Amino acid sequence: MSSLAGPPRAPRRPETRLIHERRFVDPYAWMRDTDSPELIAYLQAENAWTDEALASLEPLRQELFDDLVARTQETDLSVPELLQHTDGRAFWYFSRTYEGREYPLSCRVPAFDEVTIPDATEVLPDELTLLDGNVMAEGHDFFALGVGEISPTGHLLAYSVDIAGDEEYDLRFTNVETGFEYPEVISGVAAGGAWLTDDAFCYVRTDEAWRPFQVWRHLLGTDPTTDELLYEEADARFWLALDGSRDWRWMLIAAGSKTTSEWRILDATVADAQPRIIAERRDGIEYDVDVATDRLFIVHNDGAEDFALAEAPLDAVSPEQWRPIFAGERGVRLLGVSGYDTALVASLRRGGDVIVRITPRTPGATVAWEVGHELGEPLSTTEEDPANGPAPARLRLIEESMVHPRRLVEYDLATGARRVLKTRVVRDHPIHGPYDPDAYRVERLWARAEDGVMVPLTVVRRQDVPLDGTAPCLLYGYGAYEISIGPTFGVARLSLLDRGFVFAVAHVRGGGELGRHWYLGGKLFAKRTTFTDFIASAQHLVEQGYTSADRLIAEGGSAGGLLVGAVANLAPDLFAGILADVPFVDPLTTILNPELPLTVTEWEEWGDPLHHADVYDYMASYSPYENVAARRYPAILATTSLNDTRVEVTEPAKWVSALREVALDQDERPILLKTEMVAGHGGVSGRRASWKQASFETAWIIDRAARHS
């Protein structure tokens, strides 16, 4: 399509789309065929051009990669987790990582008492390796596990593998104690699954649109063609997922759309049991279920925008049996609960921070929400690491912030005593020395949005970075699906901070940081607010001296890629560069096609432009691809993966082609596309491969912010 003397120019073959009497001419519609040799050749040409254009950054990329290697304790051991099996045996389960290896090992040892945490380099007596990802990945460019579930007695393991990145898995079974591999392989299943008994495993299949829609029961040692269909979801808006209870007695089937839920429960102790509905779906009502030994705990939004908590008997079949525990609090999002015999543990989001609330309880007694107490600090994240059994004496909590690495804390339910079990090691850097969290500063800023609403930002920088506009800055945003970007630690981020960068997260509407209303304020016909909130956040950083427009880089991935793509059209002069990871930049074309993966399920998030002209017009008004024009854009690096089933490679390929055709000053602000040819939505697999990918992107960020064009 072109030589390396210049960037590729994709062929233009105009096709006209006519819907609702609206006409759009799409010159790159031919790229929808992701198996086309011509498209593959074009993507390879783009890769070659990107490699040549960024060849001078190789020393910086290597330096950044070395940063990650230097700071990471590669040979390590996770904190063992105790699991009591139904045959009376107990094991400590943990994972090992080794220097130079891409994937962890899943291991276990018998638990005769509460052993101390062993040295990471030791192989313990009676230690058994359940799965070694390094061995399983041999001969494959991509490798990912979809499920790794041990059976109720601990003898059997169900595991599934994806070697393409398309999130379609092959499911297998093995006896971990004898090494016997069962002959059956169940192909084309979704991630996840749950054991009913040691003889029966349940899994989920996807339909042609990649929607998990069927639950099947497989009996080990039998032909998968004889498997029993337990449930099929007919409504194309709904996805299915499976879970099991802590006492191995129950299996749960969750059916959920973007706005509505329905759960079924199945008694694993009853042969040939069938799933029973807990509460029939009601449009707009979402609920989650946690199974305790004596009752169900139900988190729901029936009359509570930010969700309430109820309890119900194990045999509940309707919401009339739900008994209120907590009525909900506006602006404080109840995320979920774990119901143990000893405590009810709730996860809450307040003011953008995640906290844990612990309420003592005993089976059979009424739960008193008001006597609970909360754990968590401002500008940090505190989450429960759920216990495996129904009656733990101690809980595990995960704590981290922008400057404090993740640590696992043990909390004694009887005394409230805390013990740090493990803190993520940040090794000494050869230049910067030991990591010192006090060398950095975390702040919560507030930017005034276009409509006057105050939008929060979380900002981290070194203490010595001046606020005179000279610092480079990376501004990250997402803003969809009520997903919140919490204050968490990242080793790769240190490479930016130690080079004088400011790192900021704009908590724009469409996310869930400030409660359900914050999400509703950035979806459907309010979607434009997500983009203007991000612009206001960027302007605030410039106005307050944290950076300047010629040093400011925007980053977003997937739906966040839509965000930065839209912002590129709305405020191109506000940014020096835009990093768009697997960007959802041709949303209207995708959401118009119900045969594509995810489309119908997405109508509740974006609207249905196929059947509603007003939705069509609104999406067309902000679609990055359909609003490309002859203007001076920031430098753009779009990254994508050939096997991505969530945002197909077609979208960023079309977007980059359109930009390259009309964008001004491309010599100074080039438009680049990088495609992973064997990967999916999450990018490459493997630890060191992911570090190389991160180093590639970070080098581009540093380079663009340094140009001061």
Domain CATH code at residue 592? 3.40.50.1820
The tokens for 332 are 């404080």
Q: What are phi and psi of 530, to 5 degrees?
A: -55, -45
Cβ count within 10 A of residue 348: 21
Cα dihedral: 485, 504, 384, 213 (round 10): 20
Beta bridge partners of 194: 202
pLDDT of residue 411: 95
- Are 118 and 177 found together in one domain? no
Residue 95 CB contacts under 8 Å (≥ 6 apart), including other chains: 77, 78, 104, 105, 106, 107
Helix (H, G, I), strand (E, B) or coil at 47: helix
Of 605, 621, 604, the residue nearest 613 (C-alpha): 621
Helical ranges in 594-681 per DSSP H:
599-606, 613-622, 650-662
Contacts 24+ apart (CB under 8 A), 136-144: 136/103, 136/161, 137/102, 137/103, 137/163, 137/685, 137/686, 141/678, 142/643, 142/678, 142/679, 142/680, 142/684, 142/685, 143/103, 143/685, 143/686, 144/680, 144/682, 144/685
| Cα–Cα dist 411/58, whole Å | 46
Distances in Å between the Cα of 379 and the Cα atoms of 80, 478, 618 are 28, 18, 36
Q: Are residues 668 and 577 in the same domain?
A: yes
Please indicate, yes or no, whether residues 463 and 499 belong to a single structural domain of this protein: yes
d(CA 47, CA 672): 9
The Cα 244–Cα 262 span in angstroms is 16
b/e map 26-60, b = 16+ CB within 10 Å: bbbbbbbeeeeeebeebbebbbebbeebbeebeeb
Q: Of the candidates 285, 300, 318, which is a domain's last residue?
A: 285
Of 195, 197, 295, whose CA–CA distance to 243 is shortest? 195
699 by DSSP, 3-state: which?
Answer: helix
Give the pLDDT means over successive 10-residue stretches in the chain (709 positions): 75 97 97 95 96 97 96 91 91 93 94 60 87 95 94 97 93 96 96 94 93 96 97 96 94 97 96 95 98 97 98 96 96 96 96 94 93 94 93 94 96 94 94 95 97 98 97 98 95 96 98 96 98 98 98 98 98 98 97 87 96 98 98 98 90 98 96 92 87 97 86
Looking at residue 260, which CATH number applies to its domain? 2.130.10.120
Residues 117 and 190 in one domain: no
Q: How many domains are contained in the chain?
A: 3
Give the end of a domain, one of 250, 285, 320: 285
Among 130, 149, 168, where does a domain finish?
130
Residue 492: DSSP 8-state: H
Same domain, 151 and 87: no
Give the active site residue among 257, 681, 685, 695: 681
For residues 116 and 159, membership in a common domain is answered with no
In this structure, are residues 523 and 607 in contact, taking their beta carbons and an 8 Å threshold? no
pLDDT at site 119: 59
Say how far apart CA 296 and CA 313 lie, in whole Å. Answer: 6
The answer to whether residue 520 is domain-embedded is yes
**Can 558 be counted among the known catalytic residues?**
yes
Q: What is the pLDDT of residue 5?
A: 75
CB contact set of 178 (below 8 Å; sequence gap of 6+): none
- Residue at token pair 């069962």: 182
Instruction: Tell me, yes or no, whether 313 lies in a domain.
Output: no
The CA distance from 635 to 646, in Å, is: 25
> Is there a domain that residue 9 lies in?
no
Catalytic residue among 558, 623, 641, 685: 558
Predicted local confidence at residue 1, as pLDDT: 46
The verdict on residue 377 lying in a domain is no
pLDDT value of position 118? 56
- Both 90 and 165 in one domain: the answer is no
Q: Are 197 and 262 in a shared domain?
A: yes
20 annotated active-site: no
Q: Is residue 96 part of a domain?
A: yes
Tell me: do 123 and 155 sit in the same domain: no
Task: For residue 365, give the DSSP letter.
Answer: S
pLDDT for 709 equals 46
Q: Is 533 helix (H, G, I), strand (E, B) or coil?
A: helix
Q: Catalytic residue among 404, 644, 685, 695, which? A: 644
User: Quick check: is 416 in a domain?
Assistant: no
**Kind of pairing, strands 212-219 and 228-232?**
antiparallel
- The answer on 147 and 228 residing in a single domain is yes
Would residue 571 count as lying in a domain?
A: yes
DSSP, residue by residue, 545-606: TS--GGGEEEEEETHHHHHHHHHHHH-GGG-SEEEEES----HHHHHT-TTSTTHHHHHHHH
**Do 52 and 161 reside in the same domain of the chain?**
no
* 35 included as an active-site residue: no
Please report the beta strands in 438-558, taking only residues with DSSP state E, as ranges in sequence order.
440-448, 454-462, 473-476, 502-506, 552-557
pLDDT, residue 116, reads 55
- In a domain, residue 66? The reply is yes
- Closest to 80 in 3D by CA, of 42, 26, 119, 25: 119
Range of the domain at 60: 15-70+429-705
- In degrees rounded to 5, what are phi and psi of residue 69? -65, -45
Residues 503 and 640 in one domain: yes
Give me the pLDDT at residue 300, please: 98
- pLDDT of 456-473, one tens digit each? 999 999 999 999 999 999
Report CA-CA distances (Å) from 683 to 210, 491, 557, 582, 623. Answer: 18, 18, 11, 9, 24
